Structure 1
Amino acid sequence: MEIKNNILETIGNTPMVQLHKVVRELPCRVIMKVETFNPGHSIKDRMALKMVEDAEADGRLKPGGTIIECTSGNTGMGLALAACVRGYRCIFTTSDKQSKEKLDILRAMGAEVIVCPTNVSAEDPRSYYSVAERLSQEIPNSFWFNQYDNLSNRLAHYESTGPEIWRQTDGRVTHVVIGVGTGGTISGVGRYLKEQNPDVQMWGIDTYGSVFKKYHETGEFDEKEIYPYITEGIGEDILPKNVDFEVIDLFEKVSDKDGAVMARRLAREEGLLLGYSAGSAVAGLVQLKDKLKHDDLVVVVIHDHGSRYIGKIYNDDWMRDRGFLDSELRVRDLITNKKNGALTGVNRDDSVREALRIMKEHEFSQMPVMNGEEVVGSIIETDVLNYLLANPMEHAERPVREIMRNPFPEVSTDLTLSELGRHITKENPAVVATDRSGRKHLIAQYDILQAI
């Protein structure tokens, strides 16, 4: 029987999924390594288990001991899974910018969570680094894992994530894009892949308010680069020992807004509900599109699941409060507000009388003309009325294709109402839009008036 002995045995061997819509402007193929398939829904499960195993092996973590860690949530989740299985107590310190969902999940796994202020230096006794270190000194039989400087972190990715990427791409990977926080993932993966092929490019995604990019380019640790930012999971105001700058080829900074907006696009357009830093990673890749060629194969390694951010980037009010979401309505909002469902049309071979019946039944002023699933034309009520008034009634049995106009224009669901206004005119009173499930919808002047 194919049965795992415990949940820790399900960590790793995550799938690769190709991206399409959000990277359509890139010249090459883009694959995402979807680490949300780990049991803790995060790539951090890999390094958390490795840190526990290595600490057990050399006696730093003893039976019945207490795991202490400073975490943005995901490493804590991985450590909590290991603690549940192996019988340890957990105390986690975190910063007050982390999502409520992350804190609730850690507590649900039996961990104690201490929330510390974000806007203090790492050396400040109130910081989540300093509080974790102090607790490890005060609590007997405890161990502070310190994922930033614990080299088991990057070793986990050298031993697992890197080899998986090489195997899953048949060694054809040319670029790997990873958000950099502790630096363990990009450093471990980068070391392994460059041992297989030194030409593999490792691109690190940073955020504004973090020191990584400037330090990598100049060797200067510039405190002026440090300021508060909202993005979770990437960027630092310290230089963790796990960051191996020699295997990172470049850093790209991504704004808080661009990361959040791209995360929402990944959910809406690719069906991938992912975390904040995943949006940043893909947004950073798009910013670097001019550095890519047609035959490149890019792998984006993402960190965690979108369920940790339901109250933040996936909440419209939260996004609007920070100016991340346009206040202007878009075509997709009109579709959401429409009472009727997907597109209702008349077949090109149906009679004019049948078209009139459908329009009266549904109170339509205009309709698409269909040939199976394809939109081949359009009719409006004045066309039908003028035709019937100008011809004997027996002409009502003639096929509607004889009086149809050209099809209504197709528009993107991202179009704003002001942009939509350029497409809807007296001669062309409606447009067609396709939602993310592939269903077509007719958007007419009436729908705009209702929304306004």
Structure 2
Amino acid sequence: MSSGIGRQIFKRTFTSRPVDGFTGAVGNTPLIYLKTLSEKTGCRILGKAEFQNPGGSVKDRAALGIVLDAEKRGRIKPGGTVVEGTAGNTGIGLAHVCRARGYKCVIFMPNTQSQEKIDLLRMLGAEVYPVPAVAYENPKNYNHQARDFARELDNAIWTDQFDNTANAEAHYRTTGPEIWEQTEGKLDGFVCATGTGGTLAGTGRYLLEKSAGKTQVWLADPPGSVLHSYITSGGKLKERTGSSITEGIGQGRITNNLGTFVNDVSGALHIPDEKSIAMVYEMLDTEGLYLGASSALNVVAAVELAQKLGKGSTVATILCDGAYRYQSRLFSKKWLQAKGLEDAIPGHLKKYAVLD
């Protein structure tokens, strides 16, 4: 195993500024140098350690940004209710924010999500409604159910993380500037997957503006999403085939958040689940980083983008969250076998798949 676990090669130049009523400062996470992959590619592969946010994921930024925006606009008053449809991490971020700022939190989520997420949400005091996973076009989609629930309440907001552009704005104001400062402006590429589109759009817009167009911004996409085909065809195709074990990423449409930036995306990479699973185990073995599948997918994409840009290039991505919320799946032999993914784990790393 690498002796340089969790290397941080750039100074944390941002000062945490706790928000009144929210004691955990969101953001200012370190940028980690992924030594083994960097040495293999001859590039600098960097991961933004978003699992260090108070709620444990990159979604804390959107959660806090959306609630603060609602308060600023007078859309919610003290004692109100915050309602959202989420695959889990945004809900967890909202649950933290709501506890700190005195709101009730109600979450609708697909019943395909990990039990760890559901348990954590309830532990944080959120009211959770797991509902059948259906397409966005179906009126029973979890997002529509959250919207309709909020409409029936007084002093309540549906945060609408997919189409509320306060999400992307939060990343434009925090994630993008942090990465730019931490790399001292020496950044050739940025790549990440997208669910709501907020992280890619907000971060990408800032980096593109600050670099005067020199930093390439790419989208990474899992199976079952239309975004890779949409971007690679110049907006002509929306082909959706297959499905993915990753949670909270991939999309069947262009959200309002992604729509603020989609025409400026440099390109897209399709990342199969087999590569994501292999990277989950590789990161644990070589860097001591316990990452979820979407984070691993982002790392795979960062490596592929670095190879496209050439030796000596610097590429950053997002380490969205840790594997704690998915360990009953990602490290279960039976679950991986059921998904046809056990063979994706490199032979010498199968020792980590310890759960039955």
Pair in the same fold by TM > 0.5 = yes
Task: Return closer, same or farther for 1:219/1:133 CA change in 2, 3 Å cut-off.
Answer: farther
Q: Higher mean Cα deviation, 83-92 or 213-222? A: 213-222
Q: CA deviation at 1:227?
A: 4.7
Q: CA deviation at 1:164?
A: 0.5
| Structure with greater contact order relative to length (CA < 8 Å, sep ≥ 6) | 2
Contact 1:28–1:292 under 8 Å retained in 2:
no
Contact 1:67–1:88 under 8 Å retained in 2:
yes
Contact 2:34–2:287 under 8 Å retained in 1:
yes
The residue that corresponds to 1:267 in the other structure is 284
- Corresponding letter in the other structure for 1:56: E
Contact 2:278–2:346 under 8 Å retained in 1:
no
The residue that corresponds to 2:338 in the other structure is 321
The residue that corresponds to 2:13 in the other structure is none
1:179 lines up with 2:197 in the alignment: no
1:25 lines up with 2:40 in the alignment: yes
1:96 lines up with 2:111 in the alignment: yes
Contact 1:71–1:93 under 8 Å retained in 2:
yes
- Corresponding letter in the other structure for 1:96: N
Partner residue of 1:283 out of 300, 316, 336: 300
Partner residue of 1:65 out of 80, 85, 94: 80
1:134 lines up with 2:158 in the alignment: no
Partner residue of 1:207 out of 193, 197, 222: 222
2:137 aligned counterpart, secondary structure: coil
Contact 2:229–2:238 under 8 Å retained in 1:
no
Q: CA deviation at 1:333?
A: 6.5
Where do 1:372-391 residues align within 5 Å?
Answer: none
Q: In percent, how many aligned pairs have the same letter?
A: 37
- Deviation above 6 Å: which 4+ runs of structure 1? 2-5, 333-337
Q: CA deviation at 1:326?
A: 2.6
TM-score norm. by structure 1 comes to: 0.69
Q: Higher mean Cα deviation, 272-281 or 311-320? A: 311-320
2:184 aligned counterpart, secondary structure: coil
The residue that corresponds to 1:374 in the other structure is none
Where do 1:19-418 residues align within 5 Å?
Answer: 19-118=34-133, 120-197=134-211, 198-220=213-235, 222=237, 224-225=239-240, 227-243=242-258, 244-326=261-343, 330-331=347-348
- Corresponding letter in the other structure for 2:283: L
Contact 2:283–2:290 under 8 Å retained in 1:
yes
Contact 1:123–1:130 under 8 Å retained in 2:
no
1:311 aligned counterpart, secondary structure: helix
Q: CA deviation at 1:328?
A: 10
- Corresponding letter in the other structure for 2:61: R
- Whole-angstrom CA distance in 2 between matches of 1:333 and 1:265: 10
Q: Which runs of 5+ in 1 are unaligned?
A: 338-452
RMSD of aligned C-alpha atoms?
2.5
TM-score norm. by structure 2 comes to: 0.87
Q: Which runs of 5+ in 2 are unaligned?
A: 1-15
The residue that corresponds to 1:373 in the other structure is none
- Corresponding letter in the other structure for 2:167: N
Task: Return closer, same or farther for 1:154/1:335 CA change in 2, 3 Å cut-off.
Answer: closer
Task: Return closer, same or farther for 1:325/1:160 CA change in 2, 3 Å cut-off.
Answer: same
Q: CA deviation at 1:317?
A: 2.5
2:83 aligned counterpart, secondary structure: strand
- Whole-angstrom CA distance in 2 between matches of 1:318 and 1:242: 33
Where do 1:407-446 residues align within 5 Å?
Answer: none
- Whole-angstrom CA distance in 1 between matches of 2:310 and 2:29: 27
The residue that corresponds to 1:416 in the other structure is none
2:122 aligned counterpart, secondary structure: helix
Highest CA radius of gyration, 1 or 2? 1
Q: CA deviation at 1:226?
A: 5.1
- Whole-angstrom CA distance in 1 between matches of 2:327 and 2:35: 24
Contact 1:179–1:302 under 8 Å retained in 2:
no
Contact 1:275–1:305 under 8 Å retained in 2:
yes
Q: CA deviation at 1:260?
A: 2.0
- Corresponding letter in the other structure for 1:54: D
- Whole-angstrom CA distance in 2 between matches of 1:326 and 1:142: 47
Q: CA deviation at 1:330?
A: 4.2
